[in-house]
Structure 1
Amino acid sequence: MDLQDQLKNLFPDHDFKEEAEENNEEGIWMQEEPLLCKYVKRKGKPVTIIEGYTGADDDFKKLAKEIKVTLSVGGSFKNDQIIIQGDYRDKIIDILKEKGFKTKRVGG
């Protein structure tokens, strides 16, 4: 008897449905214009900024979290921009191209 069968025995009235995966990339809005990947310095420290997304904020936040986890870096989502600590333009552009986004490298 596996865990699913045990749960069905404990809760016979509950309808167990197959849960969809949380990392569903089909839900992310693809766009025509490329995302801009900029390099700037703020208070003397390098920062990579991704902007130009026209879809929903929740999708952009999900994308920001995925980039931060993949690169193991800090960052935030503010004012329709993803702000990543450090100069990771090349790696971010590769990640975005794998997901099907068009990107444009801006700055140095």
Structure 2
Amino acid sequence: MSQDFTDITGLPEELGLGDDLASSQQRVTISVDTRRYGKPVTVVAGFDPSAVDLAALASTLKRHLAVGGTVAEDRIELQGEHGDRLRAALADEGFTVET
């Protein structure tokens, strides 16, 4: 009984509905750390690395927020403090953000 989403719905795989479903089922958390010289870093954690391309998502978030950042240890680190704007960007990508 191991069917994937496209087998169940009968829709073509090119639509990417399985990817949308995988991201909507994940619950991520946002926290702010302080690094060297008191600089804030926003950390987004809680991803399933097998279901999400973290490098591509980090690139999208960095471009949307116009900041630098990196992927480290299955989490995304963004330079600066980005509360509501980051929540909105993650919601646009289909993720649920826990408070």
**Common fold: TM-score over 0.5:** yes
**CA offset at residue 102 of structure 1?**
0.6
Of Structure 1 and Structure 2, which has the larger fraction of its residues in helix?
2
**CA offset at residue 55 of structure 1?**
3.8
Amino acid corresponding to residue 64 of structure 1 in structure 2: A
Quick one: distance in 2 between partners of 1:46 and 1:98?
A: 24
Offset from partner CA, 1:15-46 (integer Å, 9 cap, x none): xxxxx8xxx86546325341011111112100
Quick one: distance in 2 between partners of 1:25 and 1:64?
A: 19
Does 2:56 align with 1:46?
no
Q: Higher Cα Rg: structure 1 or 2?
A: 1
Q: Which runs of 5+ in 2 are unaligned?
A: 1-13
Q: Which runs of 5+ in 1 are unaligned?
A: 1-19
Q: Secondary structure at the match of 2:53?
A: helix
Match for residue 66 of structure 2? Answer: 72
Amino acid corresponding to residue 69 of structure 2 in structure 1: G
> 5, 25, 28: which is aligned to 1:35?
28
Match for residue 14 of structure 1? Answer: none
Q: Are 2:23 and 2:51, in contact at CA under 8 Å, matched by a contact in 1?
A: no
Overall identity of the aligned pairs, in %? 28
Q: Are 2:26 and 2:95, in contact at CA under 8 Å, matched by a contact in 1?
A: no
- How many residues of Structure 1 are paired with residues of Structure 2 in the alignment? 83
Q: Secondary structure at the match of 1:54?
A: coil
Offset from partner CA, 1:63-107 (integer Å, 9 cap, x none): 1000001111100001111000000121110011122211024xx
Quick one: distance in 2 between partners of 1:25 and 1:67?
A: 19
Quick one: distance in 1 between partners of 2:25 and 2:51?
A: 17
Stretches (4+) displaced over 6 A = none
